[in-house]
Amino acid sequence: MNKVQTYSLFTDFDIDLFKAGKHFRLYEKLGAHLIEVDGVKGVYFAVWAPTARTVSVVGDFNYWIQGEHQLEVRWDSSGIWEGFIPNVEKGATYKYKIQSDNGGIITEKADPFAFYCEKPPHTASVVWDLDYKWKDSKWMKNRKDHNSLDKPFSVYEVHLGSWKRHGEENRFLTYLEFAEDLVQYVKETGFTHVEFMPVMEYPYDPSWGYQLVGYFAPTSRFGNPQEFMVLVDKLHQAGIGVILDWVPSHFPDDAHGLGFFDGSNLYEHPDRRKGYHPDWKSLVFNYGRNEVRSFLISNAIFWLQHYHVDSLRVDAVASMLYLDYSREEGQWEPNEFGGRENLDTISFLKEFNEAVYSNFEGVQTIAEESTSFPMVSRPTFVGGLGFGMKWMMGWMHDTLEYFKKETVYRKYHQNELTFSMTYAFTENFMLPLSHDEVVYGKHSIAGRMPGDEWQKFANLRLLYSYMFTHPGSKLLFMGCEFGQSAEWNFQESLDWHLLQYPLHEGVKKTITALNKLYRTEPALHEKQFSPEGFEWINYSDYQNAVMSFIRKGNNPKDNVIVICNFTQVVREDYRIGIPHKGKLQEIFNSDDVIYGGSGVISPDKITIESSPYDGRDFSVAITLPPLSVVAFKIV
């Protein structure tokens, strides 16, 4: 057996924090770290395996032989095994060979804290560093000016494996290629942020990245950690924020992963009713175990610190919050108060959000939470979970249900659209049209639209225009911005060839114009989460399937008047109430010919009349284009 030198990066204070669940930078201690001891370079290894009898590091430097480099367990009952192995270099591959004290089971595990992993289907960890010279100081210095809740959040959701692929071999782009192609495209279309579906290492492509194994490693499918840093860096230099999907809800039971790590239920809850997810056939973290909380919160902090990430979108929050989620009666146990809420999860999520917001200025957390759980995006000090935003799943569902209806029937369903405003300000809502809406037989967003070809695209432009003028931040899945016809296929590139056709190009131009409108009109973002930022003009004209409202900013001069016509009938001399005198100037019209519309455009300026209407002292008569949203300002 080769000698492993006794060495530790842990102080007694570190151990106390770890045991208490309060150590939020564990990645600085656990894992594999390139260091120098007594003038000799090598790697310090440390792993948490409290029920292990022995732990060996096996790798390409010792021919994967168990026992050649055996770590020592700490004396402090922390369950941490550690030691320094000289002459191991960056790029070495390794795993932990763990013999359990629980029946002598031997497992071979990837490092939970590895910074880099072998490219799947290979499963070893790779010794690596995080050295990189960032060039985004301007963005980081002013980040709060981009990511505050009163700033525009128009998010382009991307699956890196299928945004674009190369040639007949259908190969992935690399992080460095994304740093050119994707950055240029997002800047061109005007999105303020990119959200990456999980980039942490995952073994199984059909999971889309939501079954993680390497929580601290960007997937090696597209390059190494520094190359992913280049991508983030380039986005920031282009003025584009970066959001990562983060998955603390569950993890796969792959043999090299976190499951049954040291021969015991170390990371997963030992009670299968709480520790197994029936929908995804995966394991659920034990949120009540202090060391697991330290692992997860450290992971969140890691991406924000070392990869300059601006926001974490937390996946499947509802599955974490409820003990009976996807479980039949008898398959779950109520909490100590007889309720269905997972109290450990609630406590964990609050602590996670407090740690993020107290450590980083100008970042956000976003919850994908599909129920009516209260105060998800309210501060913890008033009893909320502490997220910055929450996905508005009700809006998404109701809106898509409405839009798939033939226009002749829409007058009977206008309440499906107006209902969202009854709860729009109970949370800081993000309006999502995400990847989940374009798979499993749901059709693409464009494919849901009724009517002939022209009407389908007019409806699509109408949908997006309604979305961008509705209160809340926005998220659009890749391909939706140019009217992808087919459902999303994670194994293939988007159908970029469609942009040669005018109607598809027109959708892209519409999104580009809407992004500009959202960014440049303060009324559309300054009070996007406040009831002070919205006022109905008329929501009850269901006979014509028309509704109108005012979006408000800090300055009344910035107010934007929005009128939506949900049928293909041109409404001439359509009158709406206006709050004061002046002239009405059109600033956006989704029926413009440049977008593929019919070109029913308002005159340069329309005089507001002293004629009461809609409960207001003034009004104006305009021509409403078919299947359109028109936006005006009073000048």
HSE-up (13 A, CA, CB side) for residue 27: 23
Tokens representing residue 53 in the block: 């009898």
Q: Are the C-beta atoms of 428 and 392 separated by less than 8 Å?
A: no
Q: Which residues contact 297 (CB under 8 A, 6 or more apart)?
A: 24, 351, 352, 355
3-state secondary structure of 593: helix
Catalytic residue, chosen from 315, 437, 526, 592, is: 315
> Does residue 264 register a pLDDT over 70?
yes
Tell whether 451 is covered by a domain.
no
> Does residue 421 register a pLDDT over 60?
yes
Residue 315 known to be catalytic: yes
The CATH number linked to 109 is 2.60.40.10
Tokens representing residue 409 in the block: 């029937």
Q: Is residue 67 very low, low, confident or very high in pLDDT (cuts 50, 70, 90)?
A: confident
Residue 368 known to be catalytic: yes
pLDDT attached to residue 50: 96
- Co-location of 168 and 75 in the same domain: no
3-state secondary structure of 537: strand
Compute the distance between CA of residue 558 and CA of residue 537 in angstroms, rounded to an integer: 17
Compute the distance between CA of residue 267 and CA of residue 260 in angstroms, rounded to an integer: 8
Tell whether 149 is covered by a domain.
no
Compute the distance between CA of residue 294 and CA of residue 352 in angstroms, rounded to an integer: 10
Check: pTM over 0.85? Answer yes or no: yes
Compute the distance between CA of residue 282 and CA of residue 297 in angstroms, rounded to an integer: 20
Q: Where are the beta strands (DSSP E) in 309-363?
A: 311-314
Q: Are the C-beta atoms of 556 and 627 separated by less than 8 Å?
A: no
| Residue where a domain terminates, one of 391, 409, 429 | 391
Tell whether 477 is covered by a domain.
no
What is the Cα 162 distance to its own chain's centre?
Answer: 17
Element (H, E) at 414: none
pLDDT attached to residue 94: 98
- Please, which residues bridge with residue 551 across strands? 534, 560
- Co-location of 76 and 169 in the same domain: no
Tokens representing residue 131 in the block: 């050295």
What pLDDT, in 10s, does the model give residues 282-307? 999 999 999 999 999 999 999 999 99
Compute the distance between CA of residue 587 and CA of residue 585 in angstroms, rounded to an integer: 6
What pLDDT, in 10s, does the model give residues 574-626? 999 999 999 999 999 999 999 999 999 988 899 999 999 999 999 999 999 99
Q: Are the C-beta atoms of 196 and 245 separated by less than 8 Å?
A: yes
DSSP 609: B
Q: Which residues contact 179 (CB under 8 A, 6 or more apart)?
A: 227, 230, 231, 233, 234, 235
> Does residue 1 register a pLDDT over 70?
no
The CATH number linked to 539 is 2.60.40.1180
Compute the distance between CA of residue 269 and CA of residue 439 in angstroms, rounded to an integer: 31
* 267 backbone dihedrals φ, ψ, rounded to 5°: -95, -30
% of the chain exceeding 70 in pLDDT: 100
Token pair 């070893």: residue: 124
- Co-location of 120 and 261 in the same domain: no
Closest CA to 231 of 183, 291, 164: 183
Tell whether 480 is covered by a domain.
no
Tell whether 522 is covered by a domain.
no
- Co-location of 94 and 168 in the same domain: no
Residue 208: C-alpha distances to residues 196, 247, 432, 491 (Å): 11, 12, 18, 10
Residue 19: C-alpha distances to residues 182, 291, 292, 450, 522 (Å): 42, 6, 10, 58, 48
- Co-location of 369 and 326 in the same domain: yes
Compute the distance between CA of residue 560 and CA of residue 533 in angstroms, rounded to an integer: 10
- Please, which residues bridge with residue 432 across strands? 475
Catalytic residue, chosen from 14, 227, 351, 368, is: 368
What pLDDT, in 10s, does the model give residues 210-226? 999 999 999 999 999 99
pLDDT attached to residue 2: 61
Q: Are the C-beta atoms of 298 and 27 separated by less than 8 Å?
A: yes
Closest CA to 430 of 398, 379, 470: 470
Tell whether 436 is covered by a domain.
no
Over residues 25-46, mean pLDDT: 97
Compute the distance between CA of residue 23 and CA of residue 27 in angstroms, rounded to an integer: 10
Tell whether 472 is covered by a domain.
no
- Please, which residues bridge with residue 285 across strands? 268
- Co-location of 208 and 276 in the same domain: yes
Over residues 458-473, mean pLDDT: 98
pLDDT attached to residue 629: 98
* Domains held by the chain: number: 3
> Does residue 104 register a pLDDT over 70?
yes
- Average pLDDT in the chain: 96
- Co-location of 122 and 246 in the same domain: no
Angle between helices 12-20 and 290-306 (to 10 degrees): 110
Tell whether 76 is covered by a domain.
yes
- Co-location of 83 and 17 in the same domain: yes
Residue 539: C-alpha distances to residues 532, 535, 542, 597 (Å): 17, 10, 8, 25
Peptide bond into 556 cis (omega under 30): no
What pLDDT, in 10s, does the model give residues 359-383? 999 999 999 999 999 999 999 999 9
- Co-location of 208 and 329 in the same domain: yes
Closest CA to 549 of 526, 524, 513: 524
Length reported for the chain:
635
Q: Which residues contact 296 (CB under 8 A, 6 or more apart)?
A: 248, 285, 348, 352
> DSSP per residue over 313-327, as a string?
EETTHHHHHBTTTT-
Element (H, E) at 242: strand 241-246
- Please, which residues bridge with residue 107 across strands? 98
If one counts every other C-beta atom within 10 angstroms of the C-beta of residue 604, the result is 8
What is the Cα 460 distance to its own chain's centre?
Answer: 23
- Co-location of 162 and 37 in the same domain: no
Q: Are strands 534-538 and 546-551 parallel, antiparallel or unpaired?
A: antiparallel
- Co-location of 66 and 20 in the same domain: yes
Closest CA to 551 of 437, 629, 463: 629
> Does residue 257 register a pLDDT over 80?
yes
In three-state form (DSSP H/G/I as H, E/B as E, the rest C), the secondary structure along 595-606 is HCCCCCCCCCCE
More confident residue, 520 or 101: 520
> Does residue 475 register a pLDDT over 80?
yes
- Co-location of 83 and 199 in the same domain: no
Q: Among 2-11, 28-37, 87-96, 383-392, which is the least confidently predicted range?
A: 2-11
What pLDDT, in 10s, does the model give residues 525-581? 999 999 999 999 999 999 999 999 999 999 999 999 999 999 999 999 999 999 999
Q: Among 96-105, 344-353, 505-514, which is the least confidently predicted range?
A: 96-105
The CATH number linked to 217 is 3.20.20.80
Q: For residue 267, what are the domain limits? A: 157-175+194-225+242-391
